[in-house]
Amino acid sequence: MKNGKKIRKILAVLIGVMMVTSMIISAPVTASAAETDETKAAALSASYDVSDATSFVFSDSGITVTEEAYSGYKISGTALTINKSGTYAVSGACANGTIVVKKNVTGVTLVLNGLTLSASATAPITCNKGSEVTIVAAAGTVNNLADDKYNNDDVYTDEELYPDIENAVIKCKDGSNVTICGSGTINVTANGKNGIKGGYDLYEEDEEGNATDTLLSTASLTIKEITLNITANVNDGLKSDKELNILSGNITISAADDGIKSDYYLNIGAQGTAGPTIDITKSYEGIEGAVINVYSGDILVRASDDGINAANSDLGRYSFELNVYGGSVYVDAQGGDGVDSNGTLTLAGGTVEIFSSSQNDNAPLDSDGTLTLDGGTVLAVGSAGMAQTPNETSQPYVAFGAARTGGGPGFGPGGWGRPGGGSTGSSISIKAGDVITVADSSGNTLYAATAVRAASYVLFSSAKLTSGNTYTLKINGNTATTATAAGNNASVVPDDVLPFTDVVEGKWYYNAVSYAYENGLMVGITDTVFGIGTATTRAMAAQILYKLAGSPDTVYFGEFTDVSAGKWYAKATAWAAENGIFAGYTDGSFRPDDPITREQLALVLYKYSVIASKDISATDDLSSFTDASQISSWALKAVKWAVGSGIISGKGGGVLDPKGEATRAELAQILYKYLES
């Protein structure tokens, strides 16, 4: 039931924090799990025998049974339902047909033996809840699967008219364990929503069809030893709600949204194997997962936003991980970060070559937690504006062009990084098509690559480097600058006076938070947590502006119905209301705990500047932002001033996000830039 599905999704988000301890898979365990899945998939893919199968031939007029070794099926027109274990081979062509494996049916091998199958307002192939299915592309065959635009319940919401929407061409429902393999080819064309979608764990449902907290079966989706071409014209190419393992094969994906996405675990390749060849030719974000492990393979990512991202906005305070242990990874992130983690980022093997956006609010390497270099070869090229160097390293690195430190031009993420050791301070200018070369003191080339766009920062790490030695960056054969390698069995970033465990030196917000803390403008939400990602509330903003004004003598006379005189922000709200910086609501409330948006923060800072006799003449036409039309009319003048004065910049990809909630890290950044200017 769709209602039960939605309830289950909500439940999954609510218990996300509780699941962190029990569900996070460490690298060794995940590797073992990936190898187990690969062994299992190999056995399954080798076990099918078309001569010992029930064989079906699809046509527009119906389904013909040519051989019948297994009787666990039902045919209704051009709809095939499999209700018992066995091997079932399908071939032929049908413009509107379906294959469905019933709920809790295990031991099914579905052999695609030259099948062209499309479906309207549903999935051509559906593996129902709790099923176990191996989908095999028979050797030497090309199989084509497609849906239409009606297979999308975000658009076609009438369940009476569209009762069978599955939102994917191959749909693997909750609790299903599906392996897609074989030496043939499967072409997937998604015109509805997703290309291939795996489910979440299956929970018991109550009498009304709503999910309970009783786990029935876990879910996984495994891809191996297959040529798989996915075109997703609306949403994600390859997606899983729980666990996605891409162990081998040749996978090509073009997606309107994310190329490859797993809400929890994503494993690419396996230790000791060649791994898959993955070519994401088009995507918004190339690869995303809460925990991403790359063990082997040849991976090429092209994305209009972030290239590879360890994140999931539904999970909240989750222990996100992005780990590269081997393989070859190439990332072209046109408008975002190259390799980004909302938690830890570890590069420990293989070759990683990254080209990120040339905008200052993006970086080739970006980690909200620890950025660790433990091996392999890394070339990271992008903007110096958010340049981040490692927190910990057992391998030397050298950074060219990250000269500046301190807060940068941004309301959102956009400051100059703290490069630490390894940066000379010399600026560099790289253009699209330039050949970038890193050479040692003897002139030997250690690495060379061709830039895909303008850049001002290069980080290189390799076992060929020696900490303390000087290296040269050449552009088109000409020396651009030199730098000294840092790292090598030591912590790069020394202990700092800041007491906050969530504030990482080298991140865009670091200097701004330091400034705000050391000048008494902001404190942590606890003694040890600053709350960099916590939303700024109206009370917080009022209190900080009150401090900027020198905390003038103010008495709170009960101006607002929801602010008592004893609250820490009471005087600030009274002062802000008296000076026209903040206004209350029509019901007499202030709503101190409401998050403040980016355009609202621009407005109150503009109003503060007026009473503080600051220069407010700067302006900008905002034409560079694609969402400028979303700015509220009452905030437009203030936002133009903030952008024109360099206090506020976009969040990447030409987006200003005026109605997005401002985080405490963003508030610290704008205060720092505002006061320093």
Domain borders along the chain are 1-272+285-294, 510-676
What pLDDT, on the 0 to 100 scale, is given for residue 41? 39
What pLDDT, on the 0 to 100 scale, is given for residue 402? 59
Token digits for 618? 């700067």
Distance of alpha carbon 385 from alpha carbon 669, whole angstroms: 13
Instruction: Express as a percent the part of the chain with pLDDT over 90.
Output: 53
Q: Which of the listed ranges 78-92, 517-531, 557-571, 642-656 does the model predict with the highest average pLDDT? A: 78-92
Task: Give the pLDDT band of residue 525 (cuts 50, 70, 90).
Answer: confident
**Tens-digit pLDDT profile for residues 191-204:** 999 999 999 999 88
pLDDT of residue 21 exceeding 90: no
Q: Taking Cα atoms as reference points, which of 316, 132, 115, 129 lies closest to residue 204?
A: 129
Token digits for 464? 């060929």
Distance of alpha carbon 254 from alpha carbon 283, whole angstroms: 6
Distance of alpha carbon 600 from alpha carbon 639, whole angstroms: 9
Task: Give the pLDDT band of residue 504 (cuts 50, 70, 90).
Answer: confident
Distance of alpha carbon 472 from alpha carbon 449, whole angstroms: 14
pLDDT of residue 485 exceeding 70: yes
pLDDT of residue 10 exceeding 70: no
Q: Taking Cα atoms as reference points, which of 479, 478, 446 lies closest to residue 463?
A: 446
Task: Give the pLDDT band of residue 526 (cuts 50, 70, 90).
Answer: confident
Contact 231, 257 (CB under 8 A): no
As a dihedral over the C-alpha atoms of residue 541, residue 542, residue 544, residue 548, rounded to 10 degrees, the angle is: 130
37-41, 63-67, 242-246, 458-462: which range is least confident on average?
37-41
The region, left, alpha or beta by phi > 0 then psi within -120 to 50, assigned to residue 209 is left
**Tens-digit pLDDT profile for residues 309-336:** 999 988 876 889 999 999 999 999 999 9
**Tens-digit pLDDT profile for residues 630-666:** 999 999 999 999 888 888 877 666 788 888 888 888 8
**Average per-residue pLDDT for the chain:** 84
What does 183-219 look like in DSSP terms, one character per residue? SSEEEEEESSSEEEEE---EEEE-TTS-EEEEEEE--
What pLDDT, on the 0 to 100 scale, is given for residue 98? 98
Contact 88, 108 (CB under 8 A): yes
What pLDDT, on the 0 to 100 scale, is given for residue 426? 67
Contact 330, 353 (CB under 8 A): yes
**Tens-digit pLDDT profile for residues 401-446:** 853 222 222 222 222 233 333 444 468 999 999 999 999 999 999 9
Question: Helix, strand, or coil here: 484?
Answer: strand
pLDDT of residue 44 exceeding 60: no
User: Measured at the alpha carbon of residue 95, what is the angle toward residues 92 and 101, in degrees to the nearest 5?
Assistant: 70
The whole model's pTM is what? 0.68
Question: Helix, strand, or coil here: 541?
Answer: helix
Q: How far is CA 138 from the centre of its chain?
A: 34
Stretch 226-255: mean pLDDT = 97
DSSP class of residue 37? H
536's CB contacts (< 8 A; 6+ apart) are 595, 596, 601, 661, 662, 663, 664, 666, 667
DSSP class of residue 537? B
**Tens-digit pLDDT profile for residues 175-194:** 999 999 999 999 999 999 99
What pLDDT, on the 0 to 100 scale, is given for residue 82? 97
What pLDDT, on the 0 to 100 scale, is given for residue 653? 62
CB atoms within 10 A of CB 155: 13
Distance of alpha carbon 262 from alpha carbon 238, whole angstroms: 8
As a dihedral over the C-alpha atoms of residue 5, residue 10, residue 12, residue 18, rounded to 10 degrees, the angle is: -160
Complete edge-to-edge strand list for the sheet that includes strand 435-439: 445-450, 435-439, 470-475, 478-484
Query: Helix, strand, coil proportions of the chain in percent (round to 5)?
Result: 15, 35, 50
Q: Could you tell me where the DSSP H helices lie in 301-346?
A: none
